[in-house]
A and B are shown apart, each in its own frame.
Chain A
Amino acid sequence: MEKEQKHVAVIGAGIAGLHTANLLAQSGHKVTILEKEKYPGGHLNQWHHLFPDHSSPEWIISGLLDEQLQFDHLKMISSTEITSIEKNNGHFAINAGNELRIYADAVVISTGFKLFDARQKEEYGYGLFKNVITSADLEQSLKSGQPLTTASGKTPSRVAFIHCIGSRDAKCGNTYCSKVCCITGVKQALEISEMLPETEIFCFYMDLRLYGSKFDDLYLQAQKKHKIQFIRGRLSEAAETHDKRLQIKAEDTLSGRPLRMEVDMIVLLAGMEKNEAHQMFSSTKLLELDEHGFFKSKNIQLTRNETTQPGIFIAGTCICPMSVNETIENAGAASILVNRYLEHQQLTNHHE
């Protein structure tokens, strides 16, 4: 029995999308990746170094893109935004901008996450005070290779990292943990400390959730070698002083005393949020979303990558916050489920 080549559409060319696409192409399926941006790679394009090994994200993206070259039946269409998806007789019709219409036997959604807009926490002054930046801004600054400075060009003598911005906070509607911000903060603190050894660095946290392999080593290193201080307490508000420093107030909950400190720079560890694209899928009743607006899995234990709609799969941070290595693992798992689905379809078609 000869295998009929199936067509899979992958939406989003971040690492989850690229990796799933490669694996599916390797299994012999025809694959089309649709990306709304001009270039693939997603958020990883903006990151400087990855935790825990400080590796560069560029090699991950370029590695995945190089791998693509060996598959003729894999193509990528960029600068294209999906407008709608319809399901007909077990097949999918995907409409995109430029009157593009693609038919597919299965769809993988890997649209990723959106960074929390820190302006929502007005009391921390993002967008208002120049020396309040987010972890993403800091990552860009580190990537630029320029030495880190305050808005007025001075070397910061004291930097404060604030954990849980837009995560675990009912006040901005996100009650879940974004999982990677704690370690991102530790990683970035280490990088600043290596770049500016004289700079004092403080991390204000509610709980340190350093869940991953080798993450605690970074924590120990940050404390021991770099004298980075971890203060358990949530920042209440920031105010600008006349010399454009920032005065922050928190409670040092472990000593039970209010704490006030002037710093030159605040880094807000912004969490991950659902992508706006999710709304398009749920409004047409094609897919269900979970209580946080991420895509709902068919079964959270067994089939994380299957949606409530047969034939549509999900991979990466459109399911929930994940680190880079987890995303890659997750993409692999997604490709296995897609393969299984297509094989089953083949069998039923054959019997018919």
Chain B
Amino acid sequence: MSEALLSVRDLSVVFAGDDGPRTLIDNLSFDLGQGEILGLVGESGSGKSLTCRSLVRLMPSPKLAITSGAVMLDGRDLTKVSEADIRDVRGRDIGMIFQNPTSHLDPLMHIGDQIAEGIRVHRGVDGKAARAAALDILAQVGFPHPARQYNGYPHEFSGGMRQRAMIGVALSCDPRILIADEPTTALDVTIQAQILKLLMDLRESRGLSVIMITHDLGIVAQTCDRIAVLRQGKLLEIGGKRDLLGRPQHPYTQNLIASHPSMPARQAAMSSHIVHPTAVVPKARPLIEIDDLHVRFPVTGRGLFSGGPREFSAVKGVSLQVMPGETVGIVGESGSGKSTLARALLGLTPISDGHVSFDGADIVMERAKALSKLRQETAMVFQDPYNALNPRLTIGTMLAEVLAVQDSVPKERIPERIGELLDLVGLEREFAGRKPLSMSGGQCQRAGIARALAVNPKLIVADECVAALDVTIQAQIVDLFRDLKRRLNLTLLFIAHDLAIVRSLCERVVVMYHGEIVEEGPTEDVFSAPREAYTRALIDAIPDIDPDKRLVPPRGGDALIEETSGLVTDEIS
């Protein structure tokens, strides 16, 4: 490692709150070397983003202030330089890319212009030259048709392309240091792999130094040179990735590594829990039977006079059977129709064609009967724990209402039942009086599961129910499911695009692509020997925590890019 390019010394950031100051970053020190990729990991709220924003003094609120410490770049302390100087540092020396490209790109401006803007300001060139340079950058970050795509608006691109544009914007100022704040969290595994590959390529070609923020150890394992672990604003440990992953010092780090779904320990644990399909009584009637299901949505935004399809098929001809007590995982990239399938089988979305029956009742032919059965015997758990709970109701009120409406428990038994449910999901009974906003994501998700259990379901459909959670919490929730399944003999339909979790939880897995099932089978079979190229691509794209298992971007670059941006082509011509 060469001489440190950027060094942070004893950095502290304090929040001047209404009830006294709170230290958010506590005496943080680290170095970033030339051409190095440094990973910053840690749970949500640990201060990763704040640290990086402090480097360029972009505090999210005037109530936050750097109280001590120094950020040294080229012999200057960035915490002390003038406002004009720090503005010069931003972009030119230190560029940033953000987690959510949608909100960080100007929706009203052409992608290309946003890149050209930085070039004009920082390099002081005229419009024409800036445009040429911007086209160049577009090509570098992997836009297949820069000239045409220059005039595209952010919303016309897919998430992956937007993130590429975001990187392009950051590169426009030709920085030496790039801060990437969770650049792939919002993206599919496949796209994630491409973006990470892009970042590493850029490091190679431009000699960039990168600070990579993430909470996924797999990503750091695949991309970083060194890793820093943050917790509650403090640096727990820092070191070379092999050292740190191999011999974590701090118990928190050890736990973090152990929670990673791709860890051998967890995979071993899983196999002991799996009830083999053969264990299911073969003659049992399937709980769910789906036969050639089609779900189509009317397409808005197409005028009276424009031709083209007026319907969009989200699910096209899916057939699937789920036995009682089975745990089936549904995977597939974003938009492949997973949620739609789940909603259709619960009778929450009208079915366009085909048949779905639950416990023998066809939800098209015998709608009333099937629906009442579904409402009483199925429940859903949702992705975003906060959005899934009505923010105005306490957990107790919410559960009581479900119990009252379901009418399965006598009125006077309701409080007691609420207690039992909370016990079941591992929440203190006092949570009955809390509202979602005063609870953490994991606690909310548990409450959501308690609500699902309140109906005494035979079937639980969990739609991306851990995607929004920290790895450590993720692991807890997955354990909870496993436990409940065993104790209550639940049938579980588990939707996720995180294949590692599915692999650790489910017996059977269904892979969806563009509304169709492309592969289906026992989890281990599918994961160890995928038949379809798509499935393989999905599996390969999972960043493994083992740095030596290299990340393979699926189907190599351009083909997929072409496809994801295909939608765009006719929009901007």
Q: Does A pair with B?
A: no
